[in-house]
Amino acid sequence: MFLVLLGLFFYVIASSTFTVLHRIYLSLHIVFMVWTLFQFVSQTTTSALYRLFYLSVSYTGLSLLGIGWFVFVVFLTGQSYVIRKSRLFLLATPALISVAVVIINPNGMFLRINEQLAPLKQLQHGPLYWIMITQLILYMIVSFTIMFYKLRGENSVRKRTLIKTASNGMLVLVIFSISDLIINVFIIEHFKQYIPLISVGMAFAAVYLVHAITHNKVLDIIQTVQRDVMNTMSMGIIVLDENDIIIEVNKVIKPMIRFRIGDKFNPVLLGSQFKTEVSREFAAFFEDQRMRPMERLEIEIALHYDNYRHVIVQSAPILNHKKTLVGRLLTFQDVTELRLLVEETNNQNELLQDRNRDLLIMQDELFQANKKLENMAITDGLTGCFNRRYLLHQLEQEVVTNIRYGIPFSIFLFDLDHFKSINDNYGHLVGDEVLCSTVDAVRGSLRFTDILARYGGEEFTVYLPHTNRDHAAQIAERLKEAVEQNQVNTGLGEQTISVTISMGVISIEHFEPSDLADPKAFLRELLAEADAALYEAKYSGRNRIVKRKLA
């Protein structure tokens, strides 16, 4: 019986045009297949444990038979609005309870196998078995009631045929199911072997329903509504057979052509209804179609029919299941509004692109201006190095990170020796040149990660991350020598001058957790120590470095 149902399952899939009813019926068909397969498998084992498992699976499928048939009947009678998501769980509750009872089978109260009894009496149905029987009867009664009342008030011949088909199939299944219950449950001791009446009933019901589906087309409404669908389409349609005889046209195309059903389609006659240029385009298109009959072709033409129109003409081959050409479908789609919309859209896009181009130019100018403002806000206008505000802001963040992760760092604080005398002797322009040249020399001695900032006047600060005391001393000496060797032109012939610097160096290699309590105060303390080291260098004779190690 399972093999019969499996063959019918694939036959329906291969031979039917699928609708919602087909899908629901196939779900019901799967329930039939689960029951028959696992009923058969349960007879192939001598193990009570495996047999009980296989029987539980088959009864799980049987538990879903009632709700499956109920849903099938509801859709069949055109009352699918009943099956909403909010109601589906409520409607399926009896079936779900039955499935839970079958799966859990508490203490064998649904089904158990007593191997001490005779073979036909070993299968014992407990009190919970009747919960499944009750819910199946409930769904069947409701389904029969729906079909009975729908049949009394239905005037459509097709609908009545649908309902009668489902009723007959359901009646066959009910008769076999009742017979199975009586013979295999109540009076099984009078028989020599188990008789699979439910499986036979499922097979008979499935054969009957599949015959109705495929032969009588009771579930297939495509042919019924085909003409209505064609006439409601906005495009014109001409259907030709293999001899180019017109076998169908819809309402849209009738006012545009002089052909009738049964006439032989003549491309020349069709083209002659329009202007010469369009007629030539039609002739070329249909000649191309004649040369390539198995391909789908398309052309867009401009027609002057009552007013100016754009029409897309498509020619597609109609093939049978053997891929043999049996006809051709011609479609005429009016795309005038679409073309006008596309043209208007293109015009608007061009305007938009012009505006976007202007906007991009403005955005770039604004970006450059903002970049300049940002650069001016953090750099010194004369020397080009960072200013004091930026340095302090960066140090506040860096000091917290360094303290938290124990990263050593150093700070240089230096100023130019006797810078006031340079201004007095050579003027402020030369003094400014000395400052800028000194900054360039210092930059050449620093690393990429070091931060040089003008602290005020001729005083500068350098922050050196990841730098211990020894490394800082090496960099300080290199910086001091670079400034001392730097020569600045005074503007008085070839006369040049050089300057020296005094520097305070402070290195921090170890930290206390309390330093994180007030990072700003800790930073002020560091700068104060560096400033004190700088003044010690100045008062000790200038052109020297004073190093201090904090922590």
Which pLDDT tens digit goes with each residue over 430-488? 999 999 999 999 999 999 999 999 998 899 999 999 999 999 999 999 999 999 999 98
Q: How far is CA 118 from CA 54, 123, 126, 148, in A?
A: 20, 10, 18, 44
Q: Where do runs of H (alpha helix) occur along 379-512?
A: 388-405, 419-426, 428-445, 469-485
> 249 near 331, Cβ under 8 Å?
no
User: Is 1.20.1070.10 the CATH classification of the domain at 2-220?
Assistant: yes
User: Percent of the chain scored above 90 by pLDDT?
Assistant: 22
Read off the pLDDT band of 551 (50, 70, 90): low
What confidence score (pLDDT) does residue 330 get?
87
Mean pLDDT taken over the chain: 83
What does the domain layout of the chain look like in residue ranges?
Answer: 2-220, 224-334, 386-550
Average pLDDT over residues 391-417: 91
Please, how many CA atoms are within 13 Å of residue 63, restricted to the half-sphere of its CB?
A: 24
Which pLDDT tens digit goes with each residue over 334-349? 777 777 788 888 888 8
SS3 501: strand
**Alpha carbon distance 1, 196 (integer Å):** 9
N-terminal to C-terminal alpha carbon distance within the chain = 92
What confidence score (pLDDT) does residue 85 get?
66
Pick the CATH number of 386-550 from 3.40.50.2300, 3.30.70.270, 1.10.1370.10, 3.40.50.1370: 3.30.70.270
**Alpha carbon distance 218, 213 (integer Å):** 5
What confidence score (pLDDT) does residue 474 get?
94
Average pLDDT over residues 22-29: 77
Read off the pLDDT band of 229 (50, 70, 90): low
**Alpha carbon distance 460, 458 (integer Å):** 7
Which pLDDT tens digit goes with each residue over 32-51? 888 888 888 888 888 888 98
**Alpha carbon distance 448, 383 (integer Å):** 18
Q: Which two tokens stand for residue 132?
A: 């499944």
Q: Which two tokens stand for residue 423?
A: 């201004």
Which pLDDT tens digit goes with each residue over 246-287? 878 887 777 767 777 777 887 776 766 666 677 788 788 888
Q: Which two tokens stand for residue 497?
A: 């001058």
**Alpha carbon distance 436, 384 (integer Å):** 8
Pick 117 or 394 by higher pLDDT: 394
Pick 219 or 508 by higher pLDDT: 508
Q: Which superfamily does 224-334 belong to?
A: PAS domain (3.30.450.20)
Q: How far is CA 542 from CA 344, 479, 484, in A?
A: 79, 15, 12
